[in-house]
Amino acid sequence: MRSGNSESSSPAASRSYLADMAKFETTMILLYDWANIWHRQAGGYTASDTSLLLMRVDKFVNEMIDNNPDMECFRGKSR
């Protein structure tokens, strides 16, 4: 009976993990969009602090999209 409980909780744990990952991915995409807007409003590439933030977020989001082809529609047009 104990192994039955473990097996039944495993799919729920997987669903929870996938739901958390979906929330995380959505949050990162929103952060990426926000960073792009902030970067443009701050003067584009002359603002080094926003350039660094945008570069790091861009790298992370593109790696995430590379690992999940279903999210290809979120990739920036420059790539």
pLDDT at residue 45 in the model: 57
Residues 19-63 have pLDDT tens digits of 777 787 888 788 878 877 777 776 665 556 667 777 777 788 788
Residue 76 in any domain: the answer is: yes
pLDDT attached to residue 14: 72
Alpha-carbon span 42 to 35, nearest angstrom: 10
The verdict on residue 55 lying in a domain is yes
Pairwise CA distance, residues 63 & 56, whole Å: 11
> pLDDT class for 8, splitting at 50, 70, 90?
very low
Of the candidates 39, 46, 68, the residue with the CA atom closest to the CA atom of residue 58: 39
Domain assignment of residue 44, yes or no: yes
Judge whether 72 and 65 are in contact, CB under 8 Å. yes
Number of structural domains (the chain) is: 1
Residue 28 covered by a domain: yes
Answer with the residue of higher pLDDT: 24 or 76. Answer: 24
| Token code pair at residue 66 | 């590379």
pLDDT at 29: 80
**What's the predicted TM-score (pTM) here?**
0.40
Residue 19 lies in a domain: no
